[in-house]
Structure 1
């Protein structure tokens, strides 16, 4: 997996993988862990090992994850990692076929539900993180008047900014003993037209 690599989803079978909440949770758990065994992932998502193992095999069959090199001598232990840093898809690529459009809508809803559940957890637990993290967090909404090309340009700029900060988090600042602790930070934004 190359840093910052993203997979463009172009068929319904790939998209359908994202409509299953547990598969999506497993994908994000691997994002945080980078590499993990099925038993560790089962702990992280609080599900049975057999169910997690099944869904990991499904994700692997569709190329979202792959087996990672073994980290121990235990041959029964399989390690997993993502094949790409992330994924994207354009709803317009699925708009002509009503069934495909339905799958794309379900995938978008599942992604949004996951994001909202993380935000709700933050709202419930922000006090436990302390003032520094609470003050550093972001909640923002802007009402803009843009054309479709301007919105595309804004999207590209914001994506570039997010990628810059993702890369900064990957580069070895932790190698210094006095480096501040890094935490996983979820940032999600939505920008879309709406009738006022």
Structure 2
């Protein structure tokens, strides 16, 4: 998947209906699960989330209508499998802040990312306690918080560098059997008072 296929950039002026569709918390959750675990049926996603298959199916069709997901290859003729079209959904913060639906979506997306961080920490601690992670993983895992003083240009450059580096390392490790999915959550949030 090249960079253009990897990412969908939302524009509130062009994607108003898609943006409104994505402001539903369950749809964000479904899209996240398809990105994290790969293709799945409505029933499989319902089992993961505790929602009904009918509800999952409806929300998957809405995501498909706005091209966030598409039908995946079927294992057999009975089940409809879905997959994410892009690995990342991004947006221009300034454009989103000027639009009510954009602000709603960005707030919801940020809160979902914080929930994902909390879930990832809990899962890591559980996996480590059960001995499911070897020493090589425990030795390099961690969370860091930094408060550097940066210009807007430097923050943009830093975030772009991290994205590019992740793509490079992912390509390098693609065929390594030791590679695992890693929860990598990055935030660059300036403080007005500092």
Q: TM-score range by the shorter chain?
A: 0.7 to 0.9
Which position in structure 2 is the counterpart of 1:110?
A: 112
8 Å contact from structure 2 (residues 8, 88) kept in 1? yes
SS of residue paired to 1:172: coil
Aligned residues: 186
Taking the aligned partners of 1:92 and 1:25, their CA distance within structure 2 comes to 25
Length-normalised TM-score, structure 1? 0.81
Which position in structure 2 is the counterpart of 1:172?
A: 175
Which position in structure 2 is the counterpart of 1:84?
A: 86
* Cα distance change, pair 90–108 in 1 and its aligned pair in 2 (3 A): farther
Is the counterpart of residue 26 in structure 1 residue 27 in structure 2?
A: no
Cα RMSD, aligned residues only: 2.3
SS of residue paired to 2:186: coil
Which structure 1 segments of 5+ residues have no match? 174-178
Per-residue CA deviation, residues 77-105 of structure 1 (Å, 9 max, x unaligned), is: 11111111211112211222345423432
Q: Say which of 13, 18, 23 aligns to 2:17.
A: 13
* Cα distance change, pair 25–98 in 1 and its aligned pair in 2 (3 A): closer
SS of residue paired to 1:88: strand
**How far 1:37 sits from its partner (Å)?**
1.8
Which structure 2 segments of 5+ residues have no match? none
Per-residue CA deviation, residues 11-37 of structure 1 (Å, 9 max, x unaligned), is: 343333443332222212212332222
8 Å contact from structure 1 (residues 59, 65) kept in 2? yes
